[in-house]
Structure 1
């Protein structure tokens, strides 16, 4: 896509596409997410999207001025999906835990899109609502503003970093994923105790634990650390 600004009021297409659907931002984003999961980053082209939508590729400029704007919309959609159905309990620890798990799960559900979008800042409605909610959890939980901001920063970066790493693993071809998993048995199980005593002592536990994401436990560690920094921690 190339840069082209289209007035807001001119975006809506009144006639259906060749596939019988009325073109909209929602339809484009949903279709783009599906294509990205099937074909990776190369799916984000007006030609591929136009063909999938049954629409003239140039009509996409009514909604997104370029492919980067579309990518930001995909990133924002993943953030929005993480918030669907979420309600605060009033317990800051539980609310942060559930929000973190939702963010992680939303990106893992779309691993190819997560690889492209987990590091982006969108400034779009879903993201701004998420920032507002997380800061609200912390401020309402009694954290002073400066500390709330620092915890927010660490919390979000941790969630997205694990989401990107775990999405990259999930997006591996099955053969590569199987080969990576086999390394823990083929290489680590054979390391002798005289050269690698700590691996040899913990290998059975290590091999089991490394099968899954480290995020749930890392999240708990962050929550414990945040609690230790809370103004009421010493009471």
Structure 2
């Protein structure tokens, strides 16, 4: 069963410019504005200007900007999980979930950094949690442990995905300066004061890379080792 939520019927109202206003259009526009201008773009004034409508019209669809942020977070989840169908190999399915989450966050890095820690309470998130907990149950974990381990899994995935998204969202000059630190500042450390760093000096550039895949592999290997059900491939 796909984790993508079915589209719900929406009221559509024309703006001054003749555009039909809807929850989907508002969410799309908010995502675009955040991607272009950052978190400060999430305001009814800027959204109204971008949509060509009175800002007060937005309150017909969202209670406030926080409600809109939750819709944005749920939209990212829905796009990321679109077409996902859990398979018989629960480890492979969890790995695919993790990869999808990261890809969704990297597609909207500025919005993801704002929304990673929120609980949307909406259909796409509920379907994703259903899929993840279901995979833990299929591995043979009893309900209390299935919930705890799913939380450990998804928190690890979201944390690393948000970290990667935040890095991508940095201005290019800052991102490049951080990358250069591992091949410049860290290469100049005193060998006597920092013997471990001196030993691995040639590998330090790797600390500027994403650890997402490594972290997911380690976590899935640990889960597979603990699973009371039939062992899955890691």
Same fold (TM over 0.5): yes
Rounded to whole Å, the distance in 2 between the matches of 1:113 and 1:219 is 23
Deviations, residues 93-135 of structure 1 (Å, cap 9, x unaligned): 0000000111111112111101110010111111100100001
Answer whether contact 2:139 2:230 (CA < 8 A) is retained.
Answer: no
Q: How does 1:22-171 map to 2 (within 5 A)?
A: 22-171=20-169
| Corresponding residue number in structure 2 for 1:6 | none
How far residue 197 of structure 1 moved from its aligned partner, in angstroms, is 2.0
Rounded to whole Å, the distance in 2 between the matches of 1:192 and 1:172 is 30
Deviations, residues 192-212 of structure 1 (Å, cap 9, x unaligned): 4332222122122221x2232
TM-score normalized by the length of structure 1: 0.89
How far residue 185 of structure 1 moved from its aligned partner, in angstroms, is 1.3
Structure 1 residue ranges (4+ consecutive) displaced by more than 6 angstroms after TM superposition: none
Deviations, residues 5-28 of structure 1 (Å, cap 9, x unaligned): xxxx9x7234x3344431110000
Rounded to whole Å, the distance in 2 between the matches of 1:107 and 1:19 is 32
SS at match of 1:213: coil
How far residue 177 of structure 1 moved from its aligned partner, in angstroms, is 0.9
How many residue pairs match? The answer is: 223
Within the candidate set 206, 209, 230, 2:227 is matched to 230
Answer whether contact 1:29 1:70 (CA < 8 A) is retained.
Answer: yes
Higher mean Cα deviation, 185-194 or 209-218?
185-194
TM-score normalized by the length of structure 2: 0.90
- Segments of structure 2 that go 5 or more residues without pairing to the other structure are 1-8
Answer whether contact 1:227 1:233 (CA < 8 A) is retained.
Answer: no
Higher mean Cα deviation, 29-38 or 16-25?
16-25
Rounded to whole Å, the distance in 2 between the matches of 1:50 and 1:95 is 41
Within the candidate set 185, 209, 212, 2:209 is matched to 212
Rounded to whole Å, the distance in 2 between the matches of 1:69 and 1:177 is 31
- What's the C-alpha RMSD, in Å, of the aligned pairs? 1.8
SS at match of 1:86: coil
Answer whether contact 1:12 1:62 (CA < 8 A) is retained.
Answer: no
